[in-house]
């Protein structure tokens, strides 16, 4: 199959979800949506690229401008919202180490999956008892609900680190629960689950230094690949020029490619980044792009190789990057923001050449990964400032917005149906252009 055709089939498979999203019509009964709706079914949306085809998203907003609704959440968290059908899902935690609420006791820790309607009403909340002992503190107050859920028409899957991977149906019934490891880390867990065919794939680097594939229907382990250390990024699925799908993840010093059906490691590529890897990868056609490491760095590598492909498939490396936020690919360029310096970058995807390196006005620490929609890139700072930058190789700040809420903004935005969803530790916001 030609490379471009394979890519189109992959995205079309996600697009079909927009036609068959699930809606609760009676207890235990799921029916298709009455009309097509846009979807954001996993971390960073379709394919994990952080890109939406939606148009008409707001450029400017404030406490009394373009806020469709604001819903108080039952707990804190850094996981991003997902949107599938007429549902919004996210995870929360409460009772222990909630910012601004004191330490509390580990015995009071409660993990939660929350389902909301598209008009912001909480439909149900399901509590999950953690497996103790849990990490006594999480650096930077990320908390215990950091991994973003993933959903399809049948189920919603959440990952709570040591406490396991759980699947629920859309009525909130727990279907299964599986452990992928018992280890803890001061940075907590972060990587989000990914669906591939009948598998759910987990980066359990923190819990067991492994990639783990589970049967999405039963939760039973299908395969496990070890040696994935110092890795907090969510894996991505990338089609090769030959039409094969590969699972790609970054770890300490390397990018790895796997067969997602079997877990067999196919290739590895040196990154020249000697630190842990938190930002997720992006891809275009059969090239994967990575930025990461506390010391900063980036590279491009072509998938489809065998063994050590550092010399044969690595296209370029640079010394610019981000330790937290993931990049965006758009029209032959890469865009990202440094997590501490509030510097926005644009680089040529073909060579890594930096096109611009500009500090955003009034910028602050940024942990959320950006999203792109309607020709705009949305960079969300931890203090709630949203820097809206034109998605072009000439630096242009279109707006700097704030909701006026003193809170922590760690979650990456979600986009669906012309609306932008922002999650704080306390609230979920829905933003859209409203008529005067």
Q: Which pLDDT belongs to residue 405?
A: 87
Length reported for the chain: 436
Predicted local distance difference test score (pLDDT) of residue 245 = 97
Cα(208)–Cα(131) distance, rounded to whole angstroms?
Answer: 15
Coil vs helix vs strand at 171? coil
What residues have CB less than 8 Å from 5, skipping those under 6 apart? none
Distances, alpha carbon 309 to alpha carbons 48, 271, 397, in Å: 24, 11, 39
Strands 307-308 and 265-270: parallel
Q: How far is CA 188 from CA 62, 143, 231, in A?
A: 32, 7, 11
Question: Alpha-carbon distance 128 to 92, whole Å?
Answer: 10
What Cα–Cα distance (Å) separates residue 409 from each residue in 157, 206, 382, 406, 431?
23, 23, 4, 9, 15
Q: Which residues of the chain have pLDDT under 70?
A: 1-38, 435-436
**Rounded Cα distance, 12 and 15, in Å:** 5
pLDDT reported for residue 28: 31
Q: Which of 270, 327, 319 is nearest to 295 (CA)?
A: 319
**CA 136 from centre of chain:** 25
Q: What's the pLDDT score for residue 436?
A: 59
> Can you list the domains of the chain with their CATH numbers?
3-431 (2.130.10.10)
DSSP 239: E
**Dist. CA 417–CA 319, nearest whole Å:** 37
Distance of CA 25 to the CA centre of its chain: 29
Place of tokens 């490379």: 3
pTM for the model: 0.91
Q: What is the pLDDT of residue 293?
A: 86
Token duo for residue 239:
């089609």
Residue 146's nearest CA partner among 45, 75, 224 is 75
């Amino acid at each position: 199959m030609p490379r471009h055709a394979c890519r189109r089939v992959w995205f079309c498979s996600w697009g079909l979800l927009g036609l068959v999203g699930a809606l609760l019509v009676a207890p235990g009964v799921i029916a298709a949506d009455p009309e097509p709706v846009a979807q954001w079914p996993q971390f960073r949306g379709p394919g994990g690229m952080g890109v939406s085809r939606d148009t008409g998203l707001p450029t400017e907003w404030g406490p009394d401008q373009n806020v469709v609704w604001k819903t108080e959440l039952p707990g804190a968290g850094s996981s991003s919202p997902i949107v599938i059908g007429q549902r919004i899902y996210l995870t929360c935690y409460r009772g222990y180490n909630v910012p601004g609420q004191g330490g509390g006791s580990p015995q009071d820790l409660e993990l939660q999956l929350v389902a909301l309607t598209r008009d912001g009403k909480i439909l149900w909340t399901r509590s999950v008892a953690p497996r103790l002992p849990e990490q006594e503190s999480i650096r930077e107050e990320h908390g215990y609900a950091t991994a973003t859920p993933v959903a399809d028409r049948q189920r919603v899957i959440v990952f709570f680190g040591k406490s396991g991977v759980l699947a629920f149906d859309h009525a909130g019934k727990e279907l299964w629960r599986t452990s992928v490891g018992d280890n803890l880390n001061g940075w907590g867990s972060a990587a989000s689950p990914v669906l591939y065919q009948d598998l759910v794939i987990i980066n359990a680097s923190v819990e067991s230094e492994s990639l783990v594939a589970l049967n999405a229907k039963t939760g039973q382990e299908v395969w496990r690949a070890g040696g994935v250390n110092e890795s907090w990024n969510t894996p991505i699925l990338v089609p090769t020029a030959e039409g094969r799908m590969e699972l790609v993840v970054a770890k300490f010093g390397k990018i790895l490619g796997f067969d997602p059906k079997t877990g067999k490691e196919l290739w590895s590529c040196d990154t020249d980044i000697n630190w842990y890897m938190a930002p997720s990868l992006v891809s275009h056609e059969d090239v994967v792009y990575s930025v990461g490491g506390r010391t900063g760095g980036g590279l491009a590598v072509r998938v489809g190789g065998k063994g050590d492909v550092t010399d044969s498939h690595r296209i370029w490396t640079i010394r610019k990057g981000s330790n937290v936020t993931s990049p965006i690919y758009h029209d032959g360029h890469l865009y990202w923001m440094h997590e501490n310096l509030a510097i926005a970058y644009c680089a040529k995807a073909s060579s890594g050449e930096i096109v611009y390196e500009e500090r955003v006005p009034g910028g602050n620490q940024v942990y959320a990964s950006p999203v792109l929609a309607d020709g705009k890139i949305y960079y969300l700072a931890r203090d709630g400032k949203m820097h809206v930058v034109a998605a072009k190789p000439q630096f242009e700040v279109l707006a700097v917005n704030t909701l006026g809420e003193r809170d922590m903004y760690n979650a990456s935005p979600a986009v669906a149906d012309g609306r932008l969803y922002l999650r704080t530790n306390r609230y979920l916001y829905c933003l859209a252009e409203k008529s005067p």
